[in-house]
Amino acid sequence: MEILKSGRYGFDFISGDFLPPGKDEYWRRNEQQGANPPEWRKLKTHEIESLVKNGNYCADWNHFLVTDPFDPLLIRNSNFYGLIRFGPLREVSLKHHDFCIPAGVRGSTIISCDVGGDTAVQDCSYISHYIIGSSCVLSGIDEMQTTNHAKFGSGVVMDGESEDVRIWIDVMNEAGGRSILPFKTMIPADAYLWAGFRDDGELAERLKDITQKTWGGRRGSYGTVGSGSVIKSCAVIKDTDIGSCAYIKGAHKLKNITVLSSEDEPSQIGEGVEMVNGIVGYGCHVFYGSKAVRFVMGRNSNLKYGARLIHSVLGDNSTVSCCEILNNLIFPIHEQHHNNSFLIAGLVQGMSNIAAAATLGSNHNSRANDGEIRAGRGFWPGLSVTVKHSSRFASFVLITKGDYPFELNITLPFSMVSNNTKTDRLEVMPAYYWMYNLYALERNSRKSADRDRRKNKVQHIEMDYLAPDTAEEIIAAAGLIQAWMSAAGYSEEPRPVSPGIPAEIPAPGLERNDRGSVVLKPREALAAYREMLRYYAVKTLIAFFDSRGDLDFHGMADLLNGLRPLPFTRVYSREKRVTEWENMGGQIVPAFRVDGLRKDIREKKITSWEEIHAVYGKWRECYTLDCARHAWAVLSLLGGKDGERAVSRAAFIKETEAAVEIKKRMTQEVYETRAKDFTDPYRLITYRNKTEMNAVAGRPEQNAFVEYARKDFLQFEKTAENTMKRLESFREL
């Protein structure tokens, strides 16, 4: 306990050791007010008399400044210390939902704060060193204060502080080998750039320096509450920056965090919440006893019903309820809703869904807690799945219910993985989604788009399950299956003299055990993979061609073969397909572009996070052409001439016609998959009759996604027809 002189209560926020030459303790506070601060004035004698008469106390009324108009009758039974500055104060009321109170201050203690115009402060025991915006409501707060070394959730140190107070987030690895520093503008791409390339030690050091330079250093920043925010019935709010139009109700503890919020993307924090050392993104909702420690939440994300987010980055458009997430880097669009699901030390690359009772990650199979899980887009472990560290999964892998006793390396995208306990073996069906569950695959992309309610889309998120990253996974997987078939004595295509079509083949390397693992239906999977590649290539190319009315077929072929310069590229070989792509926090990027960014950061050509984000924007500008070039190369590969100008106009028209038929079949299968639920006799047993079931569940043709799929097909068919008409008017190459 430190005892101070009463005359200095509310002053000396920054000690002399940390004041720059010629500055006073208010210099950061005045900077935060901007270039055109309000015109404060001292109180008039009658105003002081009125304030005192209303039961108010101020250690020195000369340090109580106001702005006209000012009604002293609106301040009652309150205490003021240090430099107090008020904006305009009029006799108005502020209403938020059904909660309505008049502007002014009642029953509160305020220490060295700026209070904006027409703001209401009621029954707040202790508010210290805050800049409060206009038209705010602060009611029933036990303690709200800012220290002179506040970082507001950023992983920096202030002048005079030692390195051991810096806040790190141990993403992807519980032992801390991939630690990153949170900061206000962090997005998942930043976290992955920092944590995902740890062989590049110089890059990590430069990112640390950039973060410290941007957010650390001088002491003395005040906490802020943005205009239009409502904070009520809270216990402790300390070193917390709160944006505009935020709603915070009943929070238990908010310490060293930033709550990003705006009129377009307001954030909300509810009852029983505790959040320490982190960043809450724009448009986030955190409710009902949730806990977050050392974290970053992306835009439009949610924590609900006691969820626990610790040492993790949660991407945009995600919802986590009831469960526990530790030491993870999770890309946008992640769903995890169940009290008994657990995820630790993983990289989950978005569009994912974790089912009930899933336990992902166990460190007991190694000598240290340094195991990792890496899962591609569309990761979907089913009910009661247990998976060990260290494991890796390709994109859109479905894991069926069961305990998986060994580490997994599932390199086959769109597959279903099963642990067959009867035969004691691992079974993988490649291309399962495409062959048997197109409804789920198509619906996942649609739901991902529907959930993207970001008003400001700082980063592009790829939501199509067929994109360059998954296409390359398919190509690699097809090569593996072909090799396994050859080793098993089967040819890729059935021949009169070849063995019969195999239902399964051995598939070594998918599991860390020699008990045996198999691939089911390999020939069907190969055919499905080829169909997926064809559809991906054509849909990408006709969309590109449709957007480029300036090109004929010859011009498109030249452009996609690399005969025209590609912006922001050092080298692009027309002879080769770009085979390496990175998922940068949901944004799909050719690996060589990421390598270029890393090099520029190391060489100090890029020196701020703002510049790094600008590069992400340039990647987005290039992405349409990058995708089209990749799709063209894939179509050439399917024709047997990878990288050459092998796609003729006639061939492209033929491929487009085939793609329309594929899309038509996909649309029909979406309907039929949904319709199975209505023909299953066990669905009917809970209803009095078929009519009641239709009244409750609707008809399959009325399903919103079935209707969307039908309209999507009609649009695709129209675009394809327009493309073919344009192509027919162009000369052959």
Question: If DSSP states are collapsed to H, E and C, what string results for 483-522?
Answer: HHHHHCCCCCCCCCCCCCCCCEEECCCCECCCCCEEEECH
Distances (CA, A) of 134 to 32, 89, 110, 225: 15, 10, 16, 9
Residue 332 has pLDDT above 90, yes or no: yes
Q: 497: pLDDT confidence band, cut at 50, 70 and 90?
A: very low
| Parallel, antiparallel or unpaired: strands 504-506 and 517-520 | antiparallel
Report residue 552's pLDDT band, with 50, 70 and 90 as the boundaries.
Answer: confident
Average pLDDT value for residue range 674-690:
88
Q: Is 353 helix (H, G, I), strand (E, B) or coil?
A: strand
Amino acid letter, 474: I
Distance CA 700, CA 675 (A): 5
Kindly state the average pLDDT of the residues 9-35.
91
> 3-class SS at 17?
helix
The enclosing H or E element of 549 equals none
pLDDT, position 698: 87
Assess whether pLDDT exceeds 80 at residue 731. Answer: no
Q: What is the pLDDT of residue 733?
A: 41
How far apart (Å, rounded) are the C-alpha atoms in residues 276 and 417?
38
- Give the pLDDT confidence score for residue 572 in this predicted structure: 39
- As beta bridge partners, residue 426 has 419, 517
Sorted by sequence, the CB contacts under 8 Å of residue 205 that are 6+ apart come out as: none
Domain ranges of the chain: 1-145, 163-215, 548-647, 650-728
Mean pLDDT score, 570-584: 75
Per-residue pLDDT, 576: 79
What pLDDT shows up at residue 79? 98
* Residue among 458, 456, 474 nearest 584 (CA): 458
The full DSSP string for 160-190 is T--GGG---B--S-TTSTT-B---TT--HHH
**Strand residues in 416-556 grouped as ranges (E):** 416-420, 425-429, 504-506, 517-520
**Whole-number pLDDT of residue 645:** 47
pLDDT at 646: 59
Query: What is the Cα–Cα distance from 14 to 213, expressed in whole angstroms?
Result: 20
* Distance (Å, whole) CA 373 – CA 591: 21
What's the pLDDT tens digit per position in 698-712? Answer: 888 888 889 999 999
The reported pLDDT for the residue numbered 659 is 95
pLDDT of residue 394: 98
Reported as a single tens digit per residue, the pLDDT across 623-648 is: 999 999 999 999 999 986 544 445 78
Confidence at residue 545, expressed as pLDDT on a 0 to 100 scale: 92
> Using CA of residue 511, residue 516, residue 520, residue 522, what is the dihedral sign?
positive
Whether omega before 390 lies within 30 degrees of 0, making that bond cis, reads yes
The sign of the torsion formed by the CA atoms of 655, 657, 662, 663 equals positive
CA triplet 89, 92, 96: central angle to 5 degrees? 115
Burial of 186: CB neighbours in 10 Å, binned 0-12, 13-18, 19+: buried
Cα 357 to Cα 712: distance, rounded to the nearest angstrom: 36
For residue 364, pLDDT beyond 80: no
Amino acid at position 196, single letter:
G
Burial (CB count <10 Å: 0-12, 13-18, 19+), residue 115: buried
Q: Is the pLDDT of residue 440 over 70?
A: yes
- Pairing type for strands 308-314 and 324-330 reads parallel
Average pLDDT over residues 12-33: 92
Average pLDDT of the chain to the nearest whole number:
92
**Nearest alpha carbon to residue 29 among 111, 114, 87:** 114
Average pLDDT rounded to a whole number, residues 480-494 = 85
pLDDT at 123 over 60: yes
pLDDT (tens digit, 9 = 90+) per residue, 314-331?
A: 999 999 999 999 999 999
Question: How much is the pLDDT for 459?
Answer: 92
Q: Where are the beta strands (DSSP E) in 301-351?
A: 302-304, 308-314, 319-321, 324-330, 334-336, 342-348
State both tokens at 509. 């390397």
Inform me whether the pLDDT recorded for 8 exceeds 90: no
Q: Is the pLDDT of residue 571 over 50?
A: no
pLDDT tens for residues 651-677?
899 999 999 999 999 999 998 888 888
Residues 145-183: pLDDT tens digits? 999 999 999 999 999 999 999 999 999 999 999 999 999
pLDDT for 570? 44
HEC string for 372-405: CEEECCCCEECCCCEECCCEEECCCCEECCCECC
pLDDT of residue 392: 97
Residue 5: is its pLDDT beyond 90? no
The pLDDT value given to residue 493:
62
Structure confidence at residue 567 (pLDDT) = 52
Per-residue model confidence as pLDDT tens digits over 133-142: 999 999 999 9
- Average pLDDT (408-432) is 97
Model confidence over 229-284: pLDDT tens digits? 999 999 999 999 999 999 999 999 999 999 999 999 999 999 999 999 999 999 99
Residue of 170, 115, 479, 434 whose CA lies nearest to 294: 170
Nearest to 460 by CA among 698, 623, 320, 648: 623
Q: Provide the angle, in degrees to the nearest 10, between the axes of the packed helices 649-679 and 522-547.
A: 120
- Find out whether 240 and 257 touch, Cβ atoms under 8 Å: yes
Q: Looking at per-residue confidence, does 458 or 364 come out higher?
A: 458
User: According to the model, what pLDDT value does residue 666 have?
Assistant: 94
Other beta carbons within 10 Å of 548: 15
Instruction: State the pLDDT confidence band at 74, using cuts at 50, 70 and 90.
Output: very high
Q: Which of 98-107, 198-207, 454-463, 645-654 has the lowest mean pLDDT?
A: 645-654
Q: pTM here?
A: 0.94
CA atoms within 13 A on the CB side of 122: 19
Q: How many CB atoms lie within 10 A of CB 722?
A: 13
User: What does the pLDDT look like over 365-406, one tens digit per residue?
Assistant: 677 888 999 999 999 999 999 999 999 999 999 999 999 999
Phi then psi for residue 624, to 5 deg, are -60, -45
- More confidently predicted of 443 and 563: 443
pLDDT tens for 517-539 read: 999 999 999 999 999 999 999 99
Q: For CA atoms 208, 209, 210, 212, give the dihedral sign.
A: positive
Rounded to whole angstroms, the Cα distance separating 417 from 5 reads 70
State how far the Cα of 87 lies from the Cα of 38, in Å rounded to an integer.
7
Helix (H, G, I), strand (E, B) or coil at 15: coil
Q: For residues 211 and 610, is the Cβ–Cβ distance under 8 A? A: no
